Structure 1
Amino acid sequence: MSTPSPTQQSAEPRPAKVVIAPDSFKGTATAQQAAQWLGEGFREIVRDADIRLTPMADGGEGTSELFEGERITLPTTDAAGRLTEATYTFDAATSTAFIDIAAASGLPAVADTPVPLTGDTYGTGVLIADAQTRGATRIVLGLGGSATVDGGTGILVALGANPLDARGYQLRPGGGALKDIADLDTAKVNIPAGAVDWVLLTDVSAPATGEAGAAAVFGPQKGAGPDDVELLEQGLAALCRVAGIDPATPGMGAAGGAAIGITWLSTLLHGDASHVTLVPGARVVAESNGLAKALEGASLVITGEGRFDEQTAGGKVAATVLELAKEAGVAAAVAAGSFGAQPGAGTIAVSLPAIADPAEQLRRAGAEIAVAYLSTSTVQG
């Protein structure tokens, strides 16, 4: 019988490296909380697991807080025009402001009384103008979770560019009035704020108009009925004509078409759209937080979101994490409040249990994922 070498004697199974990279669960848990609680649940089953928390976002609620910088809070207005406070991140070292359109113009603030026709993004424009006065020359704007379908005209008004009808009167706020747009008055435009470099983080690849556009797909989620959807569709189409924007551009429908107004303003001030970059938000966040590197040598990655459905594939966090996992050859799991579609073959899918405590929901989901992982993996952590 041979004697094991010193190397063989000292070799021990390495703990399973598990990367946890969820989105926020809207109104329930931040991405950081979701990652922590999923990790706690997983470790209840696999006690020596090497857990790496990498909270994610895709341009929706909670995106700005994942970037480094000072957190700035100031008074502004919500999508219904009511006074509120909103927070964004300003990184003085890079002269960059990270702003979520959901912070001021998000759906939760008006969920009880939706404003699909009259809601606007003016409050987000206030944050943008404030960031520029602090020295921001680059705005990274997350286009997810808005309550509006105003084509970004609220932002334009906050920056001094006013939409007008054929008689020269300023339009009422919101997407419901946009069908009457004939021009945009730039006499009082805030040139320094409009001329920043824009990085627009999309959470969907939807165009501005059409069957897959902002009004048809996302209008109903913001409280729009069938007649409202048609009115909003007409308004976005009219805005694109006046602004000279191709409505078929992928991502132009994110946040109720907010990129339409921003792209028009930047093009007006620079002569072309070269200072506007429209990119999938989840990929940008993944690059910023080092998710791809974290996946090196990982045994499993866990992601999650409130609902996993057909829209997930359009640029949401879970789809992006699953793509990165496939590229890295890492097993994957998804925890979701509900599933309207199923992730790919071989991906563990776990629904959150129907209990009131969000922390306990996510811990139990993490534990269930661990059990499923152990049953299919050769790595017994």
Structure 2
Amino acid sequence: MTQITSSDAPSPTVIVAPDAFKGSATAEEAARWIGEGVRSIIQDAHITIVPMADGGEGTSSLFDGERITLPTTDAAGRLTEASYTFNREEATAYIDVAAATGLPAVQDALEDHPVATTGDTYGTGVLIADAETRGARRIVLGLGGSATVDGGTGILVALGAHPLDSAGHPLNQGGAALVDLADFDTARVNIPAASMEWVLLADALVPATGKRGAARIFGPQKGADANDVELLDRALGHLCDVTGVDPQAAGYGAAGGVAIGLTWLSALMHGNTEHITVVSGARVVAEAAGMAELAQKASLVITGEGRYDEQTAEGKVASAVLDIVQQAGTTAAVVAGSFSVEVPDGVLRVELNDDPSLEEQLRRAGADVAIAYLNTATVQG
């Protein structure tokens, strides 16, 4: 959390709490540029920037601890490097699935070599196993931004649990192969890693299967065509059948169903599912930042994201922040690259312009929010 200082009285108080604008600006950059735009209009504003995340790329960096970087593999199985945050005092590792298994790393190859059906989360499992060797007893795993729909089975392989077909042969990598899943070989499970406490931060509280499931909602953006989507939806359904996981549980479709495999693994270790939790990533980050208290004391809270659309209400940053701000009765605003659904009543909205510089777009948006706020506010401070 960073303050942009003002010369005189800290009134009005403005909180700037956006998500990252993926591929273009980190959450901290976006917050700072929006805040600078507000300051250009309301020069005596007291501005606090609170970078947000929903479980996607950049979530782990918002938590305190040592940044660990190591070699691993991406969703396509290629060598890469990825980082996570390890808090030794808390014995907790904060890991983003997007760090090793993210979509940007394979985006350029999707047209010729789509990975939706064959990509896996093995590289994320490598990070988890490494964290356990450093003393982690709890994994907070951000589930946004993945390139995969493998039900978390790549992580299971990295932790020593191998999916098998009915003949006892190992399955191929990726989600499509799960239609042939019959059992798991657990003879070489990494018991210390598999037995940890799991907190899974879902960027979207969608189910594993069905019309709002992982394959149908997120498969196309990961390179899946219509046939792939149907295959992957069926594969995740079959994985749920084999593992005994409810395919309609909220958040179990995030990151291509990662929670399915990890829930099965945790239950295998402990005999119950009390050691794994799936929660809204944006809500957890907002609570960690003290957003409720900040909103109570603020005159205006600004949030934002790249697209404000039907997925926003399923657990994205803007939705989580707006819920908290509206409960506080504070004026709220949303900055987004586009709006395909309406914002809640009373919420100010600003759409980015077409300036080639995102920095300038966000500064302009901050200024526009400030103008709209001044035009509508009856009491400031």
- TM-score tier by shorter-chain length is over 0.9
Aligned residue for 2:11? Answer: 15
Shift of 1:61: 0.8
Aligned residue for 2:209? Answer: 209
Aligned mates of 2:291, 2:9 — CA distance in 1 = 24
Secondary structure of 2:224 counterpart: coil
Query: Residues 309 and 341 of structure 2 are in contact (CA less than 8 Å); yes or no, is this contact kept in structure 1?
Result: yes
Aligned mates of 1:113, 1:366 — CA distance in 2 = 36
Aligned residue for 2:64? Answer: 68
Secondary structure of 1:310 counterpart: coil
Aligned mates of 1:233, 1:147 — CA distance in 2 = 15
Pair 34,14 (structure 1): closer, same or farther in 2 beyond 3 Å: closer
Shift of 1:113: 1.9
TM-score by length of 2: 0.95
C-alpha distance after superposition, 1:188-216 (max 9, x if no partner): 11110000000001111111111111111
1:154-193 → structure 2 map (5 Å cutoff) = 154-193=154-193
Does 1:52 find its partner at 2:17? no
Query: Residues 59 and 100 of structure 1 are in contact (CA less than 8 Å); yes or no, is this contact kept in structure 2?
Result: yes
Aligned mates of 2:164, 2:9 — CA distance in 1 = 69
RMSD between aligned residues: 1.2
Aligned mates of 1:160, 1:330 — CA distance in 2 = 50
Aligned residue for 2:81? Answer: 85
Secondary structure of 1:99 counterpart: strand
Structure 1 runs of 4+ aligned residues shifted over 6 Å read none
- The residue type paired with residue 31 of structure 1 is A
- The residue type paired with residue 315 of structure 2 is G
Aligned mates of 2:18, 2:320 — CA distance in 1 = 11
Query: Residues 16 and 379 of structure 1 are in contact (CA less than 8 Å); yes or no, is this contact kept in structure 2?
Result: no
Aligned residue for 1:4? Answer: none
Shift of 1:283: 1.1
Q: Which has the larger radius of gyration?
A: 1
Shift of 1:154: 0.4
Aligned mates of 2:345, 2:327 — CA distance in 1 = 15
Among 107, 110, 131, the alignment partner of 2:106 is 110
Aligned residue for 1:291? Answer: 291
Aligned residue for 2:94? Answer: 98
Secondary structure of 2:337 counterpart: strand
1:228-247 → structure 2 map (5 Å cutoff) = 228-247=228-247
Query: Residues 205 and 250 of structure 1 are in contact (CA less than 8 Å); yes or no, is this contact kept in structure 2?
Result: yes
Aligned residue for 2:330? Answer: 330
Aligned mates of 1:268, 1:31 — CA distance in 2 = 37
Q: Structure 1, unaligned stretches of length 5 or more?
A: 1-11
Aligned residue for 1:149? Answer: 149
Shift of 1:112: 1.6
Aligned mates of 2:127, 2:356 — CA distance in 1 = 34
Aligned mates of 1:347, 1:87 — CA distance in 2 = 36
- The residue type paired with residue 77 of structure 1 is T
Aligned mates of 1:69, 1:293 — CA distance in 2 = 24
Secondary structure of 1:326 counterpart: helix
- The residue type paired with residue 65 of structure 2 is G
- The residue type paired with residue 183 of structure 2 is D
Q: Structure 2, unaligned stretches of length 5 or more?
A: 1-7
Aligned mates of 1:82, 1:90 — CA distance in 2 = 24
Query: Residues 19 and 52 of structure 2 are in contact (CA less than 8 Å); yes or no, is this contact kept in structure 1?
Result: yes
Aligned residue for 1:315? Answer: 315
Pair 157,13 (structure 1): closer, same or farther in 2 beyond 3 Å: closer
Aligned mates of 2:165, 2:175 — CA distance in 1 = 13
Aligned mates of 2:10, 2:129 — CA distance in 1 = 51
1:33-48 → structure 2 map (5 Å cutoff) = 33-48=29-44
Query: Residues 61 and 145 of structure 1 are in contact (CA less than 8 Å); yes or no, is this contact kept in structure 2?
Result: yes
Query: Residues 95 and 127 of structure 2 are in contact (CA less than 8 Å); yes or no, is this contact kept in structure 1?
Result: yes
Does 1:135 find its partner at 2:135? yes
Shift of 1:359: 1.2
Secondary structure of 1:98 counterpart: strand
Aligned mates of 1:232, 1:253 — CA distance in 2 = 12
Aligned residue for 2:5? Answer: none
- The residue type paired with residue 88 of structure 1 is Y
Aligned residue for 1:198? Answer: 198
Does 1:124 find its partner at 2:120? no
C-alpha distance after superposition, 1:43-99 (max 9, x if no partner): 001111010111111111110000000011111111111111111000001000000
Shift of 1:322: 0.4
TM-score by length of 1: 0.95
Shift of 1:278: 0.8
Secondary structure of 1:295 counterpart: helix
How many residues are treated as equivalent by the alignment? 370
C-alpha distance after superposition, 1:208-252 (max 9, x if no partner): 111111111111121111100011011101111111111111111
Aligned residue for 1:9? Answer: none
Aligned residue for 1:219? Answer: 219
Shift of 1:356: 2.0
Aligned mates of 2:361, 2:9 — CA distance in 1 = 31
Secondary structure of 2:279 counterpart: strand
Aligned mates of 1:275, 1:50 — CA distance in 2 = 42
Give the fraction of aligned pairs with identical amino acids, expressed as a percent. Answer: 65
Shift of 1:296: 2.1
Aligned mates of 2:146, 2:42 — CA distance in 1 = 39
Aligned mates of 1:83, 1:167 — CA distance in 2 = 31
Shift of 1:380: 5.8
- The residue type paired with residue 82 of structure 1 is R
